[in-house]
Chain A
Amino acid sequence: MWKRIRLLTDVQLRESFGWNAAKYGRDKKEKRHLRLIAAASAIVAVILVGYVALFSFAFVQLGAEEIIPPYIFSISSLVVLFYTLFKAGDTVFNMRTYERLAALPVSRDEIVASRLLTVYVFNVAMCALVMAAGNAVYAAEVKPGFSFYFFTVVGTVLLPVLPMTVATAAGAAITAVSVRMKHRNAVSVVLSIVLVVVVLVLPTALAYGGKDVTVVQIGNLAKIVMAQLTRMYPPVALYDSAAVGGSWPAFAGFAGVTLAVFVLFMAVMRRCFLSVCTALSASPAKGNYVLHRLTERTPLSALYRKELRRYFASPIYVMNTGVGYIMMLLFSAAAAFAGKEQFEAMFGSYDLIISIMPMLLALMCCVSVPTACSISMEGKQWWIAKSLPITAKTLFDSKILVNLTVAAPFYILSEVLLLASLGINGIDTLWLVIVPFIFVIFTAVLGITVNLRLPLFEWDSETVVVKQSMAVLVFMLAGFLCGGLPLAALFALPETARGLVYPATAILFSAASVWLYRSNNARKLNEIG
């Protein structure tokens, strides 16, 4: 049994990460592409490690080093939760690949176990990276005993199990709720967003309960953060007692809870795995269509409607490419409800936050955009666009329009919330409206530029395009660079020169948008892919 599980996992991992194509493939372009993906992934990993280490140093500076292990643990759990939530449908419950395997002499349990193991391997590698970075800072500062290292290593191995289990169960539950509905993908997207918002916002709301944060509370940072982490994810209290407090019973409790939930989950999975797979892959066919008069539209309108349907037909596409806009809205809502006093308490200076607010919103547009993988998402259907009597401009315009349609409500709501609550006047209002607006357009155009140069049409799973493709990684790096530079300039330049940053940013990125747009449209469709 274990041999077969290992074999199946090995095959899935090879497929997911393109190892075989890199090792045995003859296509030099694809090999180069895979090497670039590996390099970009390494860069992202280095940034992640650097970010976690910096965050940990910040806790040390604030005299709250004991919060590092539980904080890092919670962040890792959250990452695993969201990563698995959006991957479960495509990897764990993929009916197409299940049918391929079901014909072989392997049991259903072995297939399920190998799929969970595939997701686990990726999660544990990610967690190890984050945990190592944060705990290295903690260990260097506190110099803990043997038990800390033991709990950290075994804890890292156990860490992904619980959030993975919860996410897979939640993914299955969302499917179960939405599967019988007419617009099941839209329902699935909405439920996923609600889940994300609940997980991120509810603990904060519960923690503060409308009360103001005071400077005294900031001084007592460790307790506040720990209370919030425990509300968000209760097992962290057990892990904290073990890793920081050296409690063996607490660690045994953590390991016991983790394994018990997993065993229970596996028992449920044995019963309902096939039903969830079938529900996810089913396309109900009625066969009772009656033809009515069809109406005509322009080619751009037709392409736009097709693209919009494509976008909302895939929850994983929506959730991964809309995350930046969701963050923008959540941030604006938090800023609006926190008010001036709490801002001053938390960040020291209200003016500072107001001055960087336009760039913070702009930076969130750079996290991910639908256009960055919109060409790759055409997949095996790319021949249709190439064989139609349309120009590259019409096709790219339709994709940019869908991007703007998705971004518009988030942008408008964020602006309304901030302008209504923060009491900003004059030139600050202008930049708060204009700079994020320019970045919404710039990032939509940049997404096309990046995906045009790094398209990926040969894929079986949308996850590969949306999460792991070179275009998405490069967009993220380029986006952070574009959004980060003006932000860095705001901090680095002397106060007298800061007034120039926003006009310069607006002019520079407007010009860049026009230039990229024109250069994209000059491409011939038959030269792509």
Chain B
Amino acid sequence: MAMLAIDGLSKTYKGGKKAVSDLSLSVEAGDIYGFIGRNGAGKTTTIKCVVGIMDFESGDILIDGHSVKKEPEKCKSMLAYIPDNPDLYEHLTGIQYIDFIADVFGVAGETRTQLTGKYSQRFGMMGALGDLISSYSHGMKQKLAIISALVHSPKLMILDEPFVGLDPEASLVLKEIMRELCAEGGAIFFSTHVLEVAEKLCNKIAIISDGRIVDSGTTQELTHGKPLEDVFMEVVGHVEED
């Protein structure tokens, strides 16, 4: 069973703008699935529909076999979402935020203590956890969002532009963690503009343009040994000409 199955997703905004049109894709356990496209192509809208933030008019989204429309809480309990701009509760300290997320996801005290320690050390955030989030830089907020997402051991991680704002060391740690999570049977679905990262990290990639998937498959199938950048320009350029 797919960890994430999007089937015929369509989303039109109230003003009449069609953001996503009949989009289908499937992310299996163990996949690191890259989702690439231009600004305004429909990546963030798709992600917001997947994580249950945004309603959609047609199609369905299944998380480990459960429908986001019919069982939203069940689906959300299995996934972790990290947005492109980590606007967190600024009046809480880092540790209060992690504790809050762990409480909502029902993580046992011992487990959350152990995982908080483990991931905070890896991201070099331990000392700052007692400080208010309002004192954090963009990158620190991004790291905190990632740590709090990992504390509840999600089966599926959805990330929107996760590498923006992270320092090189943290980017490396995040890539390692993504690989570890997939090796343990989890799955990752993330959007990015950094094609080199997608090419090196992902085993599957989908290219989206004007709300439609224009090409998808394993990284090997998609690129045939060519740089992803060339493939992307070729595919997106074709769509524009059509």
Taking the closest CB of chain B, its distance from the CB of A154, in whole angstroms, is 44
The interface residues of chain B lying within 8 Å CB-to-CB of A288 are 127, 130
Docked complex: A386-400 residues within 8 A CB-CB of B: 386-391
Q: Identify the closest chain A residue to B127 (Cβ).
A: A287
Given A283-B132, A283-B135, A295-B109, A526 contacting B72 (CB threshold 8 A) = yes
Taking the closest CB of chain B, its distance from the CB of A293, in whole angstroms, is 5
Is the C-beta of A427 less than 8 angstroms from some C-beta in chain B?
A: no
Stretch at the interface among B85-93, B190-198, B208-216, B220-228: B85-93
Is the C-beta of B104 less than 8 angstroms from some C-beta in chain A?
A: yes
Alpha-carbon distance between A170 and B225 when the two chains are bound, in angstroms:
69
Taking the closest CB of chain A, its distance from the CB of B12, in whole angstroms, is 15
The interface residues of chain B lying within 8 Å CB-to-CB of A303 are 100, 104
Taking the closest CB of chain B, its distance from the CB of A1, in whole angstroms, is 34
Alpha-carbon distance between A292 and B88 when the two chains are bound, in angstroms:
23
Q: Mark B121-151, 1 if CB is under 8 A from A, else 0.
A: 0000011111110110000000000000000
- Contact between B107 and A389 (Cβ–Cβ < 8 Å)? no
Taking the closest CB of chain A, its distance from the CB of B80, in whole angstroms, is 9
Q: Identify the closest chain B residue to A314 (Cβ).
A: B91
- Contact between B96 and A285 (Cβ–Cβ < 8 Å)? no
Is the C-beta of B58 less than 8 angstroms from some C-beta in chain A?
A: no
Taking the closest CB of chain A, its distance from the CB of B89, in whole angstroms, is 6
The interface residues of chain B lying within 8 Å CB-to-CB of A285 are 128, 131-132, 135
For chain A, give the interface size range.
35 or more
Alpha-carbon distance between A302 and B97 when the two chains are bound, in angstroms:
10
Given A283-B134, A296-B103, A387-B52, A289 contacting B76 (CB threshold 8 A) = no
Is the C-beta of B219 less than 8 angstroms from some C-beta in chain A?
A: no
- Contact between B15 and A299 (Cβ–Cβ < 8 Å)? no
Taking the closest CB of chain A, its distance from the CB of B114, in whole angstroms, is 10
The interface residues of chain A lying within 8 Å CB-to-CB of B104 are 299, 302-303, 388-390
Taking the closest CB of chain A, its distance from the CB of B140, in whole angstroms, is 10
The interface residues of chain B lying within 8 Å CB-to-CB of A306 are 89, 92, 96, 100
Alpha-carbon distance between A56 and B113 when the two chains are bound, in angstroms:
65
**CB within 8 A of B52: which of A287, A299, A305, A526?**
A526
Is the C-beta of A23 less than 8 angstroms from some C-beta in chain B?
A: no
Given A381-B88, A526-B53, A526-B54, A291 contacting B129 (CB threshold 8 A) = yes
**CB within 8 A of A27: which of B15, B101, B131?**
B15
Alpha-carbon distance between A297 and B87 when the two chains are bound, in angstroms:
24
Is the C-beta of B206 less than 8 angstroms from some C-beta in chain A?
A: no
- Contact between B109 and A293 (Cβ–Cβ < 8 Å)? yes
Alpha-carbon distance between A289 and B75 when the two chains are bound, in angstroms:
34
Alpha-carbon distance between A313 and B164 when the two chains are bound, in angstroms:
29
- Contact between B112 and A294 (Cβ–Cβ < 8 Å)? yes
- Contact between A291 and B15 (Cβ–Cβ < 8 Å)? no
What is the interface of chain A mostly: helix, strand, loop, or mixed? loop
Q: Identify the closest chain B residue to A291 (Cβ).
A: B117
- Contact between B113 and A283 (Cβ–Cβ < 8 Å)? no
- Contact between A286 and B131 (Cβ–Cβ < 8 Å)? yes
Alpha-carbon distance between A387 and B107 when the two chains are bound, in angstroms:
17
The interface residues of chain A lying within 8 Å CB-to-CB of B77 are 389
Alpha-carbon distance between A524 and B56 when the two chains are bound, in angstroms:
13
Is the C-beta of B81 less than 8 angstroms from some C-beta in chain A?
A: yes
Give the most central of A26, A301, A313: most B CB within 10 Å.
Answer: A313
Taking the closest CB of chain A, its distance from the CB of B213, in whole angstroms, is 23
The interface residues of chain A lying within 8 Å CB-to-CB of B106 are 296, 299
Q: Identify the closest chain B residue to A282 (Cβ).
A: B135
Taking the closest CB of chain A, its distance from the CB of B209, in whole angstroms, is 23
The interface residues of chain B lying within 8 Å CB-to-CB of A387 are 51-53, 76, 81
Docked complex: A441-470 residues within 8 A CB-CB of B: none
Is the C-beta of B73 less than 8 angstroms from some C-beta in chain A?
A: yes
Q: Identify the closest chain B residue to A301 (Cβ).
A: B103
- Contact between B127 and A289 (Cβ–Cβ < 8 Å)? yes
The interface residues of chain A lying within 8 Å CB-to-CB of B132 are 283-285
Taking the closest CB of chain A, its distance from the CB of B43, in whole angstroms, is 16
Given A291-B116, A298-B103, A386 contacting B131 (CB threshold 8 A) = no
**CB within 8 A of B100: which of A287, A302, A379, A380?**
A302
Given A26-B15, A383-B83, A287 contacting B109 (CB threshold 8 A) = no
Alpha-carbon distance between A292 and B120 when the two chains are bound, in angstroms:
13
Is the C-beta of B22 less than 8 angstroms from some C-beta in chain A?
A: no
- Contact between B116 and A296 (Cβ–Cβ < 8 Å)? no
Docked complex: A267-323 residues within 8 A CB-CB of B: 283-289, 291-299, 301-303, 305-306, 309-310, 313-314
Closest 5 CB pairs of A and B: A289-B130, A302-B103, A283-B135, A313-B91, A389-B77
Given A28-B14, A381-B89, A389-B104: 15 more A-B contacts, CB < 8 Å:
A283-B135, A284-B131, A286-B131, A291-B113, A294-B109, A296-B103, A296-B108, A296-B112, A309-B91, A310-B89, A386-B53, A387-B76, A389-B74, A391-B73, A524-B72
B residues at A contact (CB < 8 Å): 14-15, 51-55, 72-77, 81, 83, 85, 87-89, 91-92, 94-96, 98-110, 112-113, 116-117, 120, 126-132, 134-135
Instruction: Supply 19 A–B pairs (Cβ within 8 Å), ascending by A.
Output: A28-B14, A291-B120, A293-B110, A294-B95, A294-B113, A296-B112, A297-B103, A299-B103, A306-B89, A306-B92, A306-B100, A309-B91, A309-B96, A310-B91, A379-B87, A381-B88, A384-B89, A389-B73, A526-B53
